[in-house]
Chains A and B, each alone.
Chain A
Amino acid sequence: GENVEQHPSTLSVQEGDSAVIKCTYSDSASNYFPWYKQELGKRPQLIIDIRSNVGEKKDQRIAVTLNKTAKHFSLHITETQPEDSAVYFCAVEIQGAQKLVFGQGTRLTINP
C-alpha cells in the first residue's frame, strides 16, 4: 500500500524565519496532496493542497511544491509567527480509493 514518510518530526525556528517540511510517497499514481495543521486538542485543518497537474501553489505565507518524478512534496512557511506553532501533517490520496494516507506529523515550534 501507499507509504508516506514525513520529515522532520520536530522543527524549531525563530519567529520571522522560514520553515520547510518534506514528505515522500511511494505510489506514482497518487495525484492529490493536502497539508493539514492540527493545534493541540483541535481538529486537523486543511491549509493548502496541490494536485499533480501543477508543480507549485502559494497562499499568502504558505506554499507547497510537488516533484512527481521524485515523488516528494514540501510545505514552505515564510515569515513564521507564533500562531504557526502546531503539528503539521502531509497526506496523499490513494488513486481510485478516495482515502487519505497521512504522514507521521511534524511538530513545529516558533520561538519568539
Chain B
Amino acid sequence: DTGVSQDPRHKITKRGQNVTFRCDPISEHNRLYWYRQTLGQGPEFLTYFQNEAQLEKSRLLSDRFSAERPKGSFSTLEIQRTEQGDSAMYLCASSPGHYNEQFFGPGTRLTVL
C-alpha cells in the first residue's frame, strides 16, 4: 500500500498518560498535516509541516501536544497528560506540494478513560 499510513490504529489509555502516534506520508510528499476528528464532525486542522519545518499550529494544539517531522519523512504526534477531551480520531494527511490535494491516512482512534 503506497498511501498514507498511521500507527497505531487504535489506542486506549488512562487519563494522565502520554501517547505518541506515527504517520508515514506518501513517498515524496513534502507536506504533512495533522487533523483531529470527533464523532459527527469534520476534521479540524492541528498542525502542518513542509519538509521538516513546522509552519503552522492551530490554537487547538495546547502545550500538551507536540509534533515532529525530524527528517522530513514520517511524523509523530505526542499528547502528554492525556485528558478525556482528547478522545478523538487523529488523522494525518500528506500533499505533494505542487498541488493542493491532501490525501488522508486511516487515522488513530484515541480513547482516554
Contact = CB atoms under 8 A, between A and B. Distances in A.
Contact of B42 (A45, A89, A97, A98): A89
Interface residues of B, number: 25
Interface of B: 4, 31, 33, 35, 40-45, 48, 50, 55-56, 58, 91, 95, 100-107
B33 A99 contact: yes
Contacts of A103: 42
B56 A46 contact: no
Contacts, number: 55
Contacts of A93: 100
B101 A34 contact: yes
A contact residues, range: 20 to 34
B45 A101 contact: yes
A12 B39 CA distance: 20
A44 B100 contact: no
Contact of B100 (A32, A43, A89, A104): A32
